[in-house]
Amino acid sequence: MNKIFGNKKNIALFVLPAFIIYFIFALVPIAYNFYISLFQTDLMSPGKFVGFQNYVNLFKDGTFLKALKNNVFMVIGSLIAHLPVALFLGNILFQKIKGSHFFQTVFFLPSVICGVAVGMIWTFVYNSEFGLLNRILEVIGLGDLQQVWLSNKEIALFCIIIVVMWQFVGYHMVIQLAAMKNIPDSLYEAAKIDGASKWVQFRSITFPLIKHILKIDAVLIITGSLKYYDLVAVMTGGGPNHSTELMSTYMYYQGFRTLKYGYSAAIGVILLLLCVCAVWLSNRIFKSEPIEY
C-alpha cells in the first residue's frame, strides 16, 4: 500500500498539474495586482511608481465612494431578502407541504440563469413602453406610479436590488433548508407532544439549530453582494450618471474604458480586502461551536 500511496512521484503527478495552474493564474495574480496598484501604468510601458497614491485618490474620488455606498446598499438589500425572506419560504417548505420538492426546484431556477439574460429579462419588465411592471400598475389602477424605472437615478439602484433579491432568494433558501433537514425529527415530535405551536417550534428548535448555517450564509451574502457585476453592467451600465455604479463596474470602467490600470487594480485590492475582512470578522465574531442534536 504505502509503496503506491506514499510514492512521492505519484503524489506530485496527481497534485501538481492543478496546483501549478492554480498558483500561476490565481495566487500569483493577487500579489501582482497589489504591485500594479502601486503604479500609474498603461501595462505596456513600465509605468510610474506612485506608492499608495492610487488608494489616496480613490478615497477622494466621489464616484468610487458612491460605488462603495451602493455596494453597502446591495449588502443590506441582499441580507434582508436572503435571510428573513428565504428563511420564511424555507420554513414553509420544511413543513412537508405537498409539492415541496417542486417548489424548491422552481425557486432555485433563477440562480442558474445567466446574469446577462436575467438583466435583459428585467429590462423588459421595467421597460417604460411595454414593460410588465407599468402594465400591471395600469391594470390595478395605480397608473400614476408608472416610471421610466431604470433611467430614474433615484430608484434605479433599488430596481436592481429587487432583481438581485429575486434571483438568489431560492439559492439561499435551499442552503437554509438543507440545514433544517439535518435536524432530527424526534425533537419536533417531542415538541408536538408538549403542544408547542409551529411558531414556538421554529423559534426554539429550528432557528437555534440552523444558526451556524445562517452565519455562514450571511458571509456568503455579503461577499456575494460585493461581487455583483453582470446585472448592473447589462441593465444600466452603472448609469444614469453613476447612480448604480458598483465597485466591480467602476473597476471595469477605470481599467478598460479609461485605461487607468493601476487605479483599477487598487479597486481590486480593496474588493479583496473587504471579502477577506467579511470572512475573517465572521470567524472572529461567531466562533462556531460544534452543535450536538
Partner 1 sequence: MRTSTREKTGFIIKFIILVIFAITCIYPLIWLVLNSFKTNDQLFENPWGLPKSFDIKNYIVAITEGNIGTYFINSVIIAVSAVLVTVVLSSMASYAISRMEWKYSKVMLNVFLLGMMIPVYATIIPLFSIFNRIGILNTHLSVIIPHIAFGFPMAIFILTGFFQTIPRDIEEAAVMDGCSIFRIFFRIIMPISKPSVVTVAVVVFIGVWNDLLMPQIFLTDATKMTLPVGLNSFKGMYSTDYVSMIAAVVLTVIPSVIIYIVLHKNIMEGMVAGAVKG
# chain residues binding partner 1, by CB under 8 A: 98
Q: Give the nearer residue to partner 1 in terms of CB position, either 26 or 185.
A: 26
Q: Give the nearer residue to partner 1 in terms of CB position, either 56 or 117.
A: 117
- Interacting positions 63-82 with partner 1 (CB under 8 A): none
- Interacting positions 13-42 with partner 1 (CB under 8 A): 13-15, 17-19, 21-22, 24-30, 32-33, 36
Contact status: 281 vs partner 1 (CB under 8 A):
no
- Interacting positions 200-239 with partner 1 (CB under 8 A): 213, 216-217, 220, 223, 226-227, 229-230, 233-234
Concatenating the DSSP letter of every residue in 163-221 gives HHHHHHHHHHHHHHHHHHHTS-HHHHHHHHHTT--HHHHIIIIIHHHHHHHHHHHHHHH
Contact status: 245 vs partner 1 (CB under 8 A):
no
**CB 222, min distance to partner 1, A:** 12
DSSP secondary-structure letter at 258?
S
* Coil vs helix vs strand at 49: strand
For residue 241, report the phi and psi dihedrals to the nearest 5 degrees: 55, 50
**CB 8, min distance to partner 1, A:** 7
- Please calculate the CA angle 26-30-32 and round it to the nearest 5 degrees: 115
Contact status: 253 vs partner 1 (CB under 8 A):
no
Give the number of other CB atoms < 10 A from CB of residue 4.
Answer: 7
Which position among 72, 76, 80, 92 is part of the footprint of partner 1 (CB under 8 A)? 92
Q: Give the nearer residue to partner 1 in terms of CB position, either 9 or 154.
A: 9
* Coil vs helix vs strand at 25: helix
* Coil vs helix vs strand at 39: strand
Contact status: 97 vs partner 1 (CB under 8 A):
yes
Contact status: 109 vs partner 1 (CB under 8 A):
yes
Nearest Cα to 225, choosing from 165, 166, 284, 185?
A: 165
**CB 4, min distance to partner 1, A:** 5
